[in-house]
Amino acid sequence: MGGTKTSVGFGSSPDDLSSVVTIPTTEPDETLGRVIDHLTAGLPDAVGIASFGPIELRRKDPGYGRITVTPKEGWSGTDVVGPIQEAVRVPIGFDTDVNGAALGEGRWGGGLGLDTFVYVTVGTGIGGGAIVHGEPVHGLGHPEMGHMTVRHYPDDRFEGICLLHGDCLEGLASGPSIEARFGDTADRLTGDEQREAVQLEAFYLAQMTRNLVYTLAPERVIVGGGVAQMPGLLDSVGESLLDELSGYPGLAQHGPGFVVPPGLGDLSGLAGGLVLAEKAVRSSG
């Protein structure tokens, strides 16, 4: 479930996904109703839900399974798990969209074989899921990597578009921030404007990656989302990261191959739903 669109499908791995539909994420009753209609027609053994947020993941909290306070109009307080559980009556796994994508990448994609890595999406918003010792990081809430503070690019006077923080990472480097700066979406920019956008994005995303290196020590950072597909962006992020690190901690692994695109492409989220469903079956005994 993303803030713009929701994908629903059936399978046990990315190779056998079937009956995949994409539903616009409109108002809650309509969106969840269409999700439930598709799920009940397929008779799943379990369901994994990877949702935009913020969401309540603490199972002992009365709000478990709900979206909490979100800028997505009409969705604050929405119970996501409850209506689906009532309709399908099978084990349900629930996590953030980025944690789900990270789990999918860890099982079948760019995080395969790694103990600790981070998946970041850069699109309408910016979010990140951290996998540590094979499990997504949870705590008092869940990580909100898109709202970390970054310093401005020299001479960049753009105030940022984040409704909460203005010029946080999401406010300066998300897809809507590119459109606000240049008057067009990232995928439509060309020539000098595209080069300038890539330079700005690399500067801000390299700071994010440096912060991840120093706080989580990941073995790899996987960057997905529409903005990440700008030509040459991830290579530029990797090069800028080395400048940001200034030789510390001095690990060769922080060079080429440290910042990579998703191995599953656009299937990371659905693949994560499969992993969450499988985990739900195991935890149900």
Rounded to 5 degrees, what are φ and ψ at 222? -100, 125
- Report the pLDDT value the prediction gives residue 228, as an integer from 0 to 100: 97
Round the average pLDDT of the chain to a whole number and report it: 96
CB 198 within 8 A of CB 236: yes
pLDDT tens-digit profile of 66-75?
Answer: 999 988 899 9
pLDDT for res 135: 95
SS3 category, 83: helix
Over residues 36-63, the pLDDT tens digits come to: 999 999 999 999 999 999 999 999 999 9
Which amino acid is residue 83, in one-letter code? P
Residue 28 and residue 30: Cα distance in Å, rounded? Answer: 6
DSSP SS3 for 11: coil
Right CATH number for 5-99+266-283 from 3.30.420.40, 3.40.50.300, 3.60.150.10, 3.30.43.10?
3.30.420.40
pLDDT band at 259 (very low <50, low <70, confident <90, very high): very high
In this prediction, residue 164 has a pLDDT band, given cuts at 50, 70 and 90, of confident
Give the pLDDT confidence of 120-151 residue by residue, as tens digits. 999 989 999 999 999 999 988 888 999 999 99
Question: Which residue did the predictor score with more confidence, 198 or 284?
Answer: 198
* Closest CA relative to residue 80, chosen from 90, 94, 98: 94
| Domain 113-261, second-level architecture | 2-Layer Sandwich (3.30)
Task: For CATH 3.30.420.40, list the domain ranges present in the chain.
Answer: 5-99+266-283, 113-261
Query: Could you please report the per-residue DSSP string of 19-79?
Result: EEEEEE--SHHHHHHHHHHHHHHH--S-EEEEE-SSB---TTSTTTTBB-S-SSTT-TT-B
Residue 162, beta-bridge partner list: 166
Q: What is the pLDDT of residue 87?
A: 97
Taking each helix axis as running N to C, give the angle between helix 175-182 and helix 191-216, from 0 to 180 degrees, rounded to the nearest 10.
Answer: 150
Mean pLDDT of 257-262: 98
Cα–Cα distance for residue pair 103/154, rounded to 1 Å = 36
Using the predicted structure, report yes or no on whether residue 273 has a pLDDT greater than 90.
yes
Is the model's pLDDT at 285 over the cut of 90?
Answer: no
